[in-house]
Amino acid sequence: MASGEGENINDDRLLAALVLRDAREAAERSVVVGERAPRIDDRVVVGEVAQARSFNKRIGGEPLPPVPVAARGNSRMHALEREFVRRAHKLREGSRAQPPCKRGRRHDRSADQATCPAHREVVWPAAGAEDVEDATVCEAPGDTVPPATIPPELWISKGLIVRVVDESGAFKASHLQKGSVRRVDTTTGTADVELAVGGDVLCAVPQAYLETVVSRSCCQVEVVRGEYRGVIAELLERVPRRNHAVVRLNCAFNKLELELRMDDVCAFT
């Protein structure tokens, strides 16, 4: 297939249209004869286009000028439209499976919204102008999570040297004793701690009963909280008056010197 000058129809689109036209004619003939119509899919169209291109190259046909690419803004607009349609279908399907609404107070929300400062500043003032007592809130079973069940961020890891702090609980016999973490259970937020004195192992010690240790004799510490969590740093100075420690990071961070809290760094074995 060769094209003349001034023709603006893309060859791929033209070939695809011809293939679809032949498919339609074959389908109409099959209905008359009583046979099953041949199935045309994208693989057939791609194969036909590839064959036509190869034929044009062999006979020396000049290709048509490329179709101008759509502006980037238009492609983004089409992507936004597809995303809008997808989310609309998702919301429609979710509304069908949602249980009946029950009446309740406006503060019966999911835990993440109830504890987020941004939601407290934006949502609660708006709710104050409404009739909160008569508000209708749709809640699905299991959506509301009590704040007490949300596990805190785990800073403990295997090999850290920690101190047990439990004055009146199950671990009061080991109060203020140091030990090394031997195992961490991330599901429960607990750790097995081997005491430095006696070698006894305390099993399933909650993270709330452990604190970091930064002794005078240690030279290196591990950052356990914040932006540089997991980085090994050199301990330069302890400032007990402010409960801070001055550390120097490794070469990967250009030997940056920081003053961090004692709770954010910990010695390790």
Are 164 and 175 in contact, with CB atoms under 8 Å apart? Answer: yes
Q: What is the pLDDT of residues 199-254, one digit of tens each?
A: 999 999 999 999 999 998 889 999 999 999 999 999 999 998 999 999 999 888 88
Distance CA(61)–CA(49), nearest Å, equals 14
Q: What is the pLDDT of residues 29-65, one digit of tens each?
A: 766 666 665 565 666 667 667 777 776 666 666 555 5
Are 208 and 192 in contact, with CB atoms under 8 Å apart? Answer: no
Ordered domains of the chain (ranges, CATH): 152-212 (2.30.30.140), 214-268 (2.30.30.30)
Which amino acid, one-letter code, is at 74? N
pLDDT at 4 over 70: no
Extract the tokens encoding 26: 């074959």
The three-state secondary structure class of 21 is helix
Extract the tokens encoding 59: 């006979």
**Averaged over 77-102, what is the pLDDT?**
65
pLDDT at 175 over 80: yes
The pLDDT, as a whole number, for residue 70 is: 52
The pLDDT, as a whole number, for residue 24 is: 72
Instruction: Select the highest-mean-pLDDT range: 1-15, 60-74, 180-194.
Output: 180-194
The pLDDT, as a whole number, for residue 25 is: 74
Distance CA(235)–CA(229), nearest Å, equals 15
What are the backbone angles phi and psi of residue 186, rounded to the nearest 5°? Answer: -70, -25
DSSP 163: E
